[in-house]
Structure 1
């Protein structure tokens, strides 16, 4: 019986290289799956648990020596501030699934003159990631945003956003902002005060709600008009009640 010719190694093939590549591939896949499970559990937990702190709050606490912050539930945040924040940052908040494609197209057309991030994207950045511009952060933001939208209600997204957003240097959340700027609780904000708080977003370190510049005053007036518009046309249905 004729013997089968023995297979010869291909030129340049390193013994064990294929095994090492397969092992590395399995390890990478395992790490990705573990990370996905951890992030999903983290997002699910924050759907019901108040966000204790964020990476940016931690860095500001170290830089400033302390921060002002008090978590309050949505029912203790004036509906005027809810509408003002949405009018200022994401008028179609109740209509999209995390990404406002029309706003993104407008941002692309406008170049660097404006941003296209929704409140959902900003909430992901603030609650789970870090500040600063990088492709890695944007990629993670794009991955986590639809996950969060699938688990959280719109009302919860806005509640977290208003509790972790910065309204002055080291002043985080609606309650601390209302007391810091106006000496009232977040529940008692007037429409004008709410519009002024929303007007400092997204640059609270350069703007003041209690000592508004001409720009902030004009922006607050425009936000108040926008808040009235989304109330009239029903674009506040997902968070107003």
Structure 2
């Protein structure tokens, strides 16, 4: 004996199924964006999620895209030696450093993020720290490192990094804080900009605290020893 479902109940079930399928399609479309966009970013200057958020919330968005050759080598060396010393050796993720941080009781931190991981985070993910975000960074970093050259990843990173409220990229930061182009940065200025990266909202490279000055001196010394650490660029 068959049971006839009331028309209203059947319609409600159909509507709910349609809603679920719609949400699923939107989720899959969002998830596919990094896969589609990353190859385009080999030639197209990208915009990060933080830049978009800054623009739509009327905080402003200042950035002047520059090529790799328009950035002082000492700036590149400062970032590599401070942020990701094995940038030229790994394939997007430095498991040696990542395992040390993931095993820490303090949870994931900036210290575990390679430059490719920071780049994909800035491009596609959110800023707050969590194991979920870190888990998403890993496959995206591998993918970016596979699709893009190390030189392009570094170029993107330095052009989308935040250096103040609404201030993005090394060129805009150089002009704001030191009134010069990124290609003309001195070793000290490059070190101060790098020292500001972990907390760019509170750290002003033009008015460094004693702690920032101390960190900058260390970065400046490390940058002079870059040598083979930057041979992939």
Please indicate the TM-score interval, normalised by the length of the shorter structure: 0.7 to 0.9
> CA offsets, 1:159-209, max 9 Å, x none?
000000011222100100000000000110011100000000121112110
Of 206, 220, 223, 2:219 maps to 223
8 Å CA contact 1:104, 1:116 repeated in 2: yes
Of 42, 50, 57, 1:47 maps to 42
Residue 68 of structure 2 aligns with which residue? 74
1:177 is the counterpart of 2:202: no
Residue 100 of structure 1 aligns with which residue? 94
In structure 2, list runs of 5 or more residues that go unmatched.
Answer: 1-16
1:210 is the counterpart of 2:206: yes
Distance 1:38 1:211, change over 3 A: closer
How far apart, CA to CA, are the structure 2 residues paired with 1:206 and 1:42? 31
Normalising by structure 1, we get a TM-score of 0.79
8 Å CA contact 1:64, 1:170 repeated in 2: no
Matched residue SS, 2:163: strand
Residue 154 of structure 1 aligns with which residue? 150
How far apart, CA to CA, are the structure 1 residues paired with 2:165 and 2:33? 31
Q: How does 1:96-135 map to 2 (within 5 A)?
A: 96-108=90-102, 110-112=104-106, 114=109, 115-135=111-131
Residue 5 of structure 1 aligns with which residue? none
How far apart, CA to CA, are the structure 1 residues paired with 2:48 and 2:103? 32
RMSD: 2.5
After TM superposition, give the deviation of residue 138 of structure 1 in Å.
Answer: 2.8
Distance 1:61 1:39, change over 3 A: closer
After TM superposition, give the deviation of residue 99 of structure 1 in Å.
Answer: 0.9
1:196 is the counterpart of 2:192: yes
Normalising by structure 2, we get a TM-score of 0.82
8 Å CA contact 2:59, 2:165 repeated in 1: no
Structure with max Cα Rg? 1
After TM superposition, give the deviation of residue 72 of structure 1 in Å.
Answer: 0.6
Distance 1:186 1:138, change over 3 A: same
How far apart, CA to CA, are the structure 2 residues paired with 1:108 and 1:228? 30
How far apart, CA to CA, are the structure 2 residues paired with 1:182 and 1:218? 19
Distance 1:38 1:58, change over 3 A: closer
Q: How does 1:16-55 map to 2 (within 5 A)?
A: 38-51=33-46, 53-55=47-49
How far apart, CA to CA, are the structure 2 residues paired with 1:124 and 1:212? 28
> CA offsets, 1:3-40, max 9 Å, x none?
xxxxxxxxxxxxxxxxxxxx9xxx89x96886665432
After TM superposition, give the deviation of residue 103 of structure 1 in Å.
Answer: 1.3
8 Å CA contact 2:81, 2:219 repeated in 1: yes
After TM superposition, give the deviation of residue 143 of structure 1 in Å.
Answer: 2.0
